[in-house]
Structure 1
Amino acid sequence: MVMKKALVVSMVATALGTSVVSAISAAPAVKPVSNAAQIQHSTFTINGSTITIRSVVKNGETLVSLRDVTKAIGAQTEVHNGTTTIKLNDHTVQLEQNSKQFVVDGTTTNLTQPVALIGGTSYVALRPLIAGVGGTLVKRAGVLEISTIPLLAEAESPRFAGTDKLIVSKNDDKGRSDYLVNATNGKYELLFTTDGGSDLVISPNGDRAVYTNAEGAVYTIDLNTQNSKLITSDNSIKSDLVWAADGSAIYFLQGEKGSVIAKLNLADGAITKLVEDKVDYKENLNVSADGKKFVYTVTSLSKVTSDSTNVDEDNVSIDFSSDQQQIYSHNIGYSKPEAVKLTTTTDDKLFVWSADGQKAYYVSVPSTDGKATLMSVDSSQKVSFVYADYDVEQAILSNGKLVVLAAQDDNNSVIYSIDTITGNQTKLFTVSSNVSSIAVVGSQIAVVENGQVLVSSGQGWRAVTK
């Protein structure tokens, strides 16, 4: 009889394809615990990564596995005489089983329900624990985002350095500080400080940046090693630095009035003047991939007029009608190169972009009340509407796509992607009207909202500064 029973057990185990011991010890995905609570596997975004944490719901409140959470946030944990001590970011949290209190940095914090021991694991309320170690919790697109990495405050002017980093800036009475910020979790490090130097302009592949110091000398900085290299100590004024497509040179406007378009060879520091046509006040320099075609704006200044027979101050007037900004193109590949005036209208022209040196895109701001629109103008001076649905606030040209930030109404703005070949428009996001600017690399977008930098994450946003 005993032999028959053993044979039956052996046959069942064989049919299941596993041993009797493993079949008995296999844990179900959800197991019942005391007070009818069930252990669940909840998904959170923790410091930019998707993490699964064991959790239970007790008395309407979600408690999470202390072991899982402290491991995910990288906290140090010690247990001594029944007291668990958690340390992170110069904060200390102490707790005990069945206690309805935390001690955070020496101050007692009350909980709605006690720390619970369930299945041999401590479960605690998530929010007070994260707050205790200096972290934040935000729910975006239905997912709770937890950040315990200290974020940089009051940063501005984000621009991508590759897909995984941002450069942001902070200004004070001592000058400007630039920081490298991890685009996934917000971890940051000081990159560069300057008093009177230019902005950092990032290379096409995102591994370097170029800048001028207050004296006009040009440096490159390796964004991986953070080492700077002097390229030239030439002290002429240089503005609108633009990288060559292959990263071998820098184009810039030279002189106090930006009259000259010049090229700086990064290998030997040699400077070559490419355009010297005596046309002053060039700005918004764009360079084609072959380095022969340029698009830029020229601003003509107001004229001072007076009665030729009486130059008393009361008879002096200023003619503002000539105060205009127009877009020009210049092709040095022609046998007789010369500047070509592409526009003649009196509107303000902002965010001027060109990829080929032939066609330019710009935001047209009317001189009278009315919404700003995104326009294009080609080498034949043909001006066309690109986007005019809402009031355009910013436009960026990136990898053949125009990314547009536009004010939809008093509460909302929209971000659109427009294909420059087909003209097809795709709405990417509806965002708060408090979004003041955007930055783009590939399909990734960063926005500045109320002074905070957020990076796109699926259909939501992840804060990388505070």
Structure 2
Amino acid sequence: MKRKISSLVMATAVLSGSVFTPVAVTNVSAATIQQQQSAQKETIIVNGQEKVISFTQVNKKKLYSIDQLSQIMVATVKYNSKTKAYEVSKKSGKQVKKIDYKANAADVVINGKKTKLSTPTKMVGKTLFVEADSFVKTFGGDLLIDKSLLITVAGTINLAEKSLTVDGNDKKVKGLSINGKQLYSVQDIAKLFSATTTVNKNNEVLVTNKDKTIKLKLSNKAMTVNNKVINLKENPILVKNVVYADVSDLVHAFNGDILPTQNSYFVSTTGLVSGDTFKPQWVDNSSILVTNETETESRSMVVNTSSKKGLFTVNATELAVSPNGKQAIYSDENGYVYLVDLVTKKINGINLSDDSVKLEFVWSPDGQKVYFLQGDKSEKVSYINVVDGSIKKVFEDKLIYKTDLRLSMDGKKVLYIVAKEGITKNTEGENPEVDSIDLTDTEEQIYVVNLEDAEPKAIPVTITKENKVFPSFLADGSIVYVSADPESDKLPDVKMISVDQSVSTLISNKDINNLVVTSKGEVMILVRESNGNSVIYEWNNATKKLKNIVQTKLELTSFSVSNDGKSIVATTPGTNGETLVLFKNGVMELLTK
């Protein structure tokens, strides 16, 4: 007859979820309570939880209660009176893992294979004590021997340095891999935020810097940050005098931000720029100027794409960056014009006398002039000399509310879009009222002005009725734009107006959300595909084909290409408005939140 020592059936749910899901260990059995004096008790860590277990020592090697080890590893132990063996088994999938022990013996059978233990088993009273290493590993767990025994019931335990990208720089920090989860050194993460870490005798961890006081307790999922209690994802663990915890819990405690990367994490110690962030313009190949709006302010910021930090803030919007990226220009609510030195971070007013409305600044290729739409109704095209601040009118006519001002790459022509006003007919009498408005031929058209003409004139280069958006010059003086018919189900086209005024269709049947001509003269479009993906294509004029440059499940709304053509930033809807993402290493990486 077999004498059953211990049998415990536990739901597999105990092993699911967090790496540190508490393991239910029942009270020490009656047999264990009746042990001799040579059995002692110690606290060990099981899946991040403190547990008390009985042990004895043989030649300075600790052996542990087979009953309690079986409970920890969700295994069943039985005594076979015929073979005088203690049979421990656990079903794993379709397999059954098994160990046969004998009392006070080094011989053992593990999964049917005879072997020897490094330390023989030992009977203490009516309980068998065995070494933990082979026991835990046979049943799918792992352990690490430190001041206290650290056990994971599934997976492995590994101590190794890990890499983090911190504010754009690579950093090495100590890491603890346990049961498929990765924990990081609290001491190392604290140093990133100029904080110090101490551990007292009560297993309390104190992390402090000038702004934060963070308290953690080993094997406890509660953390206090400046006296506010926050629940942790995982229990902190002390191994070889290093405290390990979930890295996102630590970073957020310091008001930083953490983003997953392909192989690790990006940590922003100051936190990402937040708010509605849009209209990205490249300053150089590693920084961009954006418009950023929050509930309390509207401003422009230079953001570094590597560190993700805001480098410089201007309390104004609608800035335009110069071709060399060293300056930006804007007009305030009074119509005064300011020049921003993006290198020295200084702002100077270059015209504080002309208070007319000035919109849509466009720099000349040589950076000496900036063209803009002038007047309450944007009726004029003018430019300002950035050296002396003088303003000169280039062209004016009766067509009002001009938009989409663009300058050719050689600086010799400008284009804009404008519509003619409808003809209003009034009723007769002393108090005439509007009778009708004739909107015939009032559709918006693209006009071009040759700046080298003695008397510049606006020449319409389109006469069609469809909407025309995103007009831009190509290097040879041709014009491209997106043509969309609002009264048709037909998808938009990209059309080109050659220098000889002939019109052709470059791209058709695409749901185009944005068109950009890069500094190198390449035509790129942002398309929303039928499967919901956003795709950025580049048009190859030689092959007459589109090349897929970026594909993402994100809903992109606009994009901008760096001057070297190697980087792309885009905007996408977020919780606080538009957020900025960077296309890097084949994936979209968040820049703002």
Does TM-score exceed 0.5, indicating one fold?
Answer: yes
Distance 1:322 1:365 in 2: 17
Residue number in structure 2 paired with 1:25: none
Pairwise CA RMSD: 3.3
Distance 1:80 1:116 in 2: 9
Cα distance, 1:286 vs structure 2: 1.7
**1:328-367 alignment to 2 at 5 Å?**
328-334=447-453, 338-356=457-475, 358-367=477-486
Distance 1:335 1:227 in 2: 38
The yes-or-no answer on 1:404 pairing with 2:525 is yes
Residue number in structure 1 paired with 2:183: 63
Distance 2:248 2:385 in 1: 55
Distance 1:422 1:218 in 2: 45
The yes-or-no answer on 1:384 pairing with 2:507 is no
Residues 104-160 of structure 1 deviation map (CA, whole Å, 9 limit, x = unaligned): 333264564441314x54333323323333344443546444434222322232323
Distance 1:239 1:80 in 2: 60
Residues 12-62 of structure 1 deviation map (CA, whole Å, 9 limit, x = unaligned): xxxxxxxxxxxxxxxxxxxx9545622234444433344444423224432
**1:92-241 alignment to 2 at 5 Å?**
92-95=213-216, 101-106=222-227, 107=229, 109=231, 112-118=234-240, 120-141=241-262, 143-160=264-281, 161-171=283-293, 176-188=298-310, 191-194=313-316, 199-232=318-351, 233-241=353-361
Do the aligned partners of 1:244 and 1:251 also contact (CA within 8 Å) in 2? yes
The yes-or-no answer on 1:298 pairing with 2:418 is yes
Do the aligned partners of 2:232 and 2:249 also contact (CA within 8 Å) in 1? no
Instruction: Give the one of 560, 563, 575 matched to 1:439.
Output: 560
Cα distance, 1:342 vs structure 2: 1.4
Distance 1:464 1:113, change over 3 A: same
Do the aligned partners of 2:236 and 2:243 also contact (CA within 8 Å) in 1? no
Do the aligned partners of 2:319 and 2:330 also contact (CA within 8 Å) in 1? yes
Distance 1:255 1:98, change over 3 A: closer
Residue number in structure 2 paired with 1:269: 389
Distance 1:219 1:284 in 2: 21
Distance 1:279 1:96, change over 3 A: closer
Q: TM-score, normalised by structure 1?
A: 0.80
Distance 2:251 2:293 in 1: 31
Cα distance, 1:389 vs structure 2: 4.5
Distance 1:316 1:410, change over 3 A: farther
Do the aligned partners of 1:412 and 1:430 also contact (CA within 8 Å) in 2? yes
Distance 2:163 2:182 in 1: 13
Distance 1:206 1:99, change over 3 A: same
Give the gaps of 5 or more residues in structure 2: 1-142, 146-150
The yes-or-no answer on 1:416 pairing with 2:416 is no
Letter in 1 for 2:462: T
Distance 1:89 1:398 in 2: 46
Structure of higher RCO (CA pairs closer than 8 Å, 6+ residues apart): 1
Residues 303-337 of structure 1 deviation map (CA, whole Å, 9 limit, x = unaligned): 22357899964x71122333211112222335675
Do the aligned partners of 1:249 and 1:265 also contact (CA within 8 Å) in 2? yes
Distance 1:108 1:159, change over 3 A: closer
Cα distance, 1:220 vs structure 2: 0.5
**Paired residues, number:** 429
Distance 1:462 1:90 in 2: 29
Do the aligned partners of 1:342 and 1:380 also contact (CA within 8 Å) in 2? no
Instruction: Give the one of 422, 446, 459 matched to 2:586.
Output: 459
Larger Rg: 2
Distance 2:331 2:309 in 1: 27
Cα distance, 1:163 vs structure 2: 2.8
Cα distance, 1:367 vs structure 2: 2.8
Distance 1:405 1:419 in 2: 15
Cα distance, 1:201 vs structure 2: 0.9
Distance 1:174 1:33 in 2: 52
SS in structure 2 at match of 1:38 = strand
SS in structure 1 at match of 2:158 = coil
Residue number in structure 2 paired with 1:425: 546
Do the aligned partners of 1:294 and 1:357 also contact (CA within 8 Å) in 2? no
Letter in 1 for 2:522: K
Distance 2:233 2:513 in 1: 46
Do the aligned partners of 1:301 and 1:322 also contact (CA within 8 Å) in 2? no
Do the aligned partners of 2:157 and 2:179 also contact (CA within 8 Å) in 1? no
Distance 1:379 1:70 in 2: 62
Give the gaps of 5 or more residues in structure 1: 1-31
Distance 2:531 2:233 in 1: 40
